[in-house]
Amino acid sequence: MTSSLPAAEPAPAPAPVAARVRHLTKTYGAGAALVRALDDVSLDLLAGEFTAVMGPSGSGKSTLMHCCAALDRGDSGEVWIGERELGRLRDAALTRLRRDEIGFVFQSYNLVPTLTAEENILLPLAIAGRRPDREWFASVIGAVRLGDRLRHKPEELSGGQQQRVAVARALVSRPRIVFADEPTGNLDSRSGAEVLQLLRRSVDEFGQTVVMVTHDPVAAGYTDRVVFLGDGRVVDGLRDPTREQVLAVMARLALPESAP
Ligand SMILES: Nc1ncnc2c1ncn2[C@@H]1O[C@H](COP(=O)(O)OP(=O)(O)OP(=O)(O)O)[C@@H](O)[C@H]1O
């Protein structure tokens, strides 16, 4: 017997996940001084997306980012980068994963003062013994608009230029995921906007996956998605966030539970 029902449409392919967190818990201290920095956090960070992690001070943002970036370990739960669960990797494999699959941008730039901008950008590849792909290097340098500053040392660059060097350094090895911890925290609003546009372009034009911790609703407005933490838990989320929506959630999270 033939069915008159239309053939079922194939289900859309699930978006690839760059990093996956499952039931991640991390505590500091003990007894009365125990702090639950992460309390059963589960989260998927989708490939090719720009995600912001926000929340009040002490809500666990940096701890989450450090655990995801293999800079720290949780007490229990799992963190996957691509197909690999970090808890199952030995130190040498973790070092390789950090070097080959993860890019970092810190609030304080973390450039090597004795190296030029170009040497700083190429340092992760040099350490890995990899040759730079000249075409890709040129694309990254074009994107960060540093072509005329490559021979300068960090102290000869503005804060915004130094942070653009740090973004280029994070992008040049084409990592699976870039983690940025308050990348605009030390910058004036114009330089901050340049860095945010650069991260946005790396997602739109290069397909980069970027995860950024920020306190700034304007910065969050550049992202595809915001994940809000409160007391070590995922408490809210927004897609295609506007500054106003972010402010509204932040105001709600800042209020004590008992507020009228
Ligand atoms: N090394 C540590 N020892 C003890 N407690 C810690 C340590 N690191 C973080 N904590 C605590 O864990 C909790 C989460 O800290 P975390 O730095 O992840 O928060 P955050 O959301 O990034 O805060 P902020 O926005 O202020 O940077 C806080 O209560 C903090 O005091």
More confident residue, 258 or 122: 122
- pLDDT average, residue stretch 51-63: 95
Strand intervals (E) in 49-132: 50-54, 76-81, 84-85, 102-105
Residue 18 lies in a domain: no
Closest residue to atom 7 of ligand 1, CA basis:
28
Residue 35 lies in a domain: no
pLDDT at 164 over 60: yes
Query: Does any ligand 1 atom lie closer than 6 A to the CB of residue 55?
Result: yes
Output the pLDDT for position 128: 85
Query: Does any ligand 1 atom lie closer than 6 A to the CB of residue 58?
Result: yes
More confident residue, 60 or 2: 60
pLDDT band at 131 (very low <50, low <70, confident <90, very high): confident
pLDDT at 86 over 90: yes
Q: What CATH number is given to the structural domain containing 157?
A: 3.40.50.300
Residue 128 lies in a domain: yes
Residue 83 lies in a domain: no
Query: Does any ligand 1 atom lie closer than 6 A to the CB of residue 230?
Result: no
Give me the helix-helix angle, 134-144 and 189-206, nearest 10°: 140
In percent, the amount of the chain with pLDDT more than 70 equals 92
Give the count of beta carbons closer than 10 Å to the beta carbon of residue 57: 7
More confident residue, 115 or 130: 115
pLDDT band at 8 (very low <50, low <70, confident <90, very high): low
Query: Does any ligand 1 atom lie closer than 6 A to the CB of residue 209?
Result: no
pLDDT at 9 over 90: no
Residue 85 lies in a domain: no
Q: How many domains does the chain have?
A: 1
- pLDDT average, residue stretch 33-57: 96
Output the pLDDT for position 143: 82
- ipTM reported for the complex surpasses 0.95: yes
Test site for ligand 1: of 59, 182, 211, 231, most ligand atoms within 8 A of the Cβ: 59
pLDDT at 129 over 60: yes
pLDDT at 226 over 70: yes
pLDDT at 257 over 70: no
- Residue 165's domain comprises 48-73+90-254
Beta bridge partners of 238: 226
Integer Cα distance of 30 and 43 in angstroms = 26
CB 226 within 8 A of CB 51: yes
The alpha carbon of residue 11 and the mean position of all alpha carbons in its chain are separated, in whole angstroms, by 29
Test site for ligand 1: of 25, 54, 57, 63, most ligand atoms within 8 A of the Cβ: 63
Q: Closest Cα partner for 38 from 68, 66, 59? A: 59
Q: How far apart are the first and last CA of the chain?
A: 64
Mean per-residue pLDDT of the chain? 90
- pLDDT average, residue stretch 111-131: 93
Residue 181 lies in a domain: yes
Integer Cα distance of 200 and 212 in angstroms = 11
Closest residue to atom 29 of ligand 1, CA basis:
58
Residue 259 lies in a domain: no
Residue reference for tokens 């990348």: 183
| Cα distances (Å, whole numbers) of residue 118 to 21, 50, 112, 216 | 34, 26, 11, 30
Closest residue to atom 17 of ligand 1, CA basis:
62
Residue 206 lies in a domain: yes
Query: Does any ligand 1 atom lie closer than 6 A to the CB of residue 66?
Result: no
